[in-house]
Structures are given as C-alpha cells and as structure tokens.
C-alpha cells in the first residue's frame, strides 16, 4: 500500500512512519507548512520541518513539504479569532484535523495516487468485519495519550483511507522504538496544542493584535457587580482564576466560576460550583463517524481532550441528558459521544 505519512517533526509521527515501513508499505513523508508566524510551541517551526526531513532521511524515505498556510489561516486561525470575538471557546486542533489533516491533505494524497494517509495520533481504526458493516474509530490503547476526542469528525469516507500506526502502542514503547532506531526525535518533548500561540506573548497578545479586547464587568447571579476583567473575550465558561473577584476561604461555596460570557454587553456572570453544574448539554453541528444514534440512545459523553466520560442519554436531536451533573461546557468546545471505546461522533457545545 502507498501511504503518505504526515510527519510533524515529533516522535509519534516518526515512529508511525517506521512502523509502516516494517509492515512493508511504500511510505512517503510529508510535513504540512501551516503557520507562518512566530512559534515556540514545538510544532509549525522551521526546526520541526528539519526534524521531519532528517527522520525521513534516517528511514530512507522521500520527504516533501506541503504549503497549506493559506488554508490554515482561513479555516483555523480566522475562526479561532472570530470565536473569541463572539465569546466562544474554540478548539483549533479539531478545526485543523477537520480542514487540513483529514480533508486537504487526504484529498492531496488521493490526487497523487496514495492509498492512505497516516498520522501519529493515538487512536485506532477497525475495518468492517463479520457482523459490523462500517469502519469504527476507537480510543488509543494508551489511556493517558488517547486522542480520539479530537478525531470525532472522521466519517466513513475518511476512516477508510486513514491509518494510525501508533494507536495500539503505549507512549513509552513509541519513545523506546524511536531510541532503538536512533531517530533524532526520540527524546523530543510533546508539542503544545495551539501551535500559533507563542509562550512569550500568549493568547492575549495574539488576539489583541487582531481584535479589540474590551474590559468587562463581573456580576453574580443576581446581577450585582462583584469585579471586573481586563478582556471579556478571554474569559471561558468554567474559568475560576483571573475573574477579578475578591478571594475568600478556599471552600466550595466561596469559589466563583464563570457561568456565562456576554461579549455584546461586556458582562461575565459568576457563581458557585453548584451553579456551574448542569444535567443537560446542548450540542450543535453534530458529525457522526458511522450510523446516527436514535432518540434515547445510551452513550458516554466527553467534553474535553482528557476529560472523564460521563454516561448520558442522547435525545436524537441536540440534547444530552447526563446521568450525573457535570460542569457546564464552554460554548464552542467539542462534545464527543462514545459507546464504550468507540467514537460515535461529536459537535460543539451550544
């Protein structure tokens, strides 16, 4: 099989390429040039392209660079900025997977005659088999590194042409294999999630250069002023620190959390942890990996990349009723549905 491996310059994609070679596939490496600005987060830099090229050389495979920077700016960076301006909390890694890795790159691979695209994600794909007519996306074998949450947008067409060679391996074994092969990425630290946000400037500097950040009032659930924030667009539902609320004893009832963000009026509403809890999650823009669950389907819900799955009932339209109260999910964040370790699909909290 001809496989195009997306090599980020990290250890996971390096070992993914090595595993595919061991399996006898014809492997070519490609590094996507996505972000053209400053980056010190361990990906999207010139050094990462160099690391990927050197690993490809060590493995004896061809390596190419695909410039998708315009699409990245349009489909990932611009929506990230617009969502913050609207008071939402976006997940740019999900947007990158949806628009770049498993759309733009997959289409480019098909045009070039490749049979599949492989990445270093920690997830597993099972083909149709007796008693199962569809492809199934499952959690990675290493629970601490499972990345199925950010892959929930993969449908049947994508799953049929995607490979995750390290999905069955624990992270420790991936690093051990890289070391045994003498790959220069064996000890390289994992990258941060948001490659275009630098550690030095942070989210505030990045957004402040693109949209006007406005100070906001902080009010309690009765509408009484209790503090201020320097930039309402930087507040996320569920946030506790940096809300400008006077501190008190560190007890459950004294801590205050952001319950809602209204950028139109520049008001952040805060309340207790009890106020933050909810038994229902509204989801928009659902995409399914396979068959669509019907009304009253029993599922497990995960609302963050490494969050704890919670049993729930899906109403078949847009609402999840959780068996036990959970913290409110920030609007814009991904909400992913599972059936045991199988990904059913996901959308964004409304």
Residues 321-331 have pLDDT tens digits of 999 999 999 99
pLDDT above 60 (res 59): yes
> 43 an active-site residue?
no
CATH number at 223 reads 2.30.30.280
pLDDT above 90 (res 274): yes
Per the structure, how many domains does the chain have? 3
Measure the CA–CA gap between 25 and 27, rounded to whole angstroms.
Answer: 6
Catalytic one among 43, 44, 93, 96? 96
Nearest to 332, CA basis, from 84, 100, 146, 98: 84
Measure the CA–CA gap between 168 and 55, rounded to whole angstroms.
Answer: 22
Catalytic one among 43, 44, 195, 289? 195
Q: pLDDT digits over 131-147, tens only?
A: 788 999 999 999 999 99
Averaged pLDDT for residues 249-264 = 82
pLDDT above 60 (res 250): no
Q: Are residues 33 and 173 in the same domain?
A: yes
CATH number at 32 reads 3.40.50.620
pLDDT above 70 (res 246): no
Share of the chain above pLDDT 70, in %: 95
Any bridge partners for residue 242, and if so which? Answer: none
**Local confidence band at 38 (pLDDT 50, 70, 90 cut-offs):** low
CB 349, CB 303: distance < 8 Å: yes
Q: Are residues 172 and 56 in the same domain?
A: yes
Q: Are residues 52 and 172 in the same domain?
A: yes
Q: Which two tokens stand for residue 217?
A: 């009032």
CB 134, CB 288: distance < 8 Å: no
């Amino acid at each position: 099989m001809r496989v195009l491996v997306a090599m980020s310059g990290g250890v996971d994609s390096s070992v993914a390429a090595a595993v595919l070679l061991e399996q006898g596939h014809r492997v070519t490496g490609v590094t996507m040039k996505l972000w053209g600005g400053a980056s010190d987060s361990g990906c999207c830099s010139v050094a990462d392209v160099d690391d990927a090229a050197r690993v490809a050389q060590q493995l004896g495979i061809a390596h190419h660079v695909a410039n998708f920077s315009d699409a990245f700016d349009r489909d990932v960076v611009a929506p990230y900025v617009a969502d913050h301006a609207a008071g939402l909390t976006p997940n740019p890694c999900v947007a990158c997977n949806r628009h770049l890795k498993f759309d733009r790159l997959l289409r480019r691979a098909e045009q070039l005659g490749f049979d599949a695209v492989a990445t270093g994600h920690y997830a597993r794909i099972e083909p149709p088999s007796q008693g199962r007519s569809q492809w199934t996306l499952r959690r990675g074998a290493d629970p601490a590194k499972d990345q199925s949450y950010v892959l929930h947008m993969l449908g049947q067409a994508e799953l049929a042409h995607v490979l995750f060679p390290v999905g069955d391996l624990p992270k420790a074994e991936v690093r051990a294999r890289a070391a045994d092969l003498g790959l220069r990425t064996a000890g390289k630290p994992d990258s941060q999630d948001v490659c275009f946000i630098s550690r030095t400037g942070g989210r505030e500097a990045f957004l402040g250069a693109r949209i006007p950040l406005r100070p906001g009032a902080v009010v309690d659930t009765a509408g009484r002023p209790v503090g201020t924030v320097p930039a309402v667009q930087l507040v996320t539902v569920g946030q506790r620190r940096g809300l400008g609320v006077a501190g008190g004893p560190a007890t459950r009832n004294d801590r205050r959390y952001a319950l809602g963000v209204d950028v139109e009026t520049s008001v952040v509403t805060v309340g207790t942890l009890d106020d933050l809890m909810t038994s229902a999650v509204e989801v928009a823009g659902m995409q399914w990996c396979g068959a669509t669950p019907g009304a009253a389907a029993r599922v497990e819900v995960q609302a963050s990349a490494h969050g704890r799955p919670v049993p729930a009932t899906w109403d078949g339209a847009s609402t999840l009723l959780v068996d036990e109260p959970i913290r409110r999910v920030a609007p814009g964040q991904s909400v992913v549905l599972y059936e045991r370790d199988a990904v059913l699909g996901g959308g964004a909290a409304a």
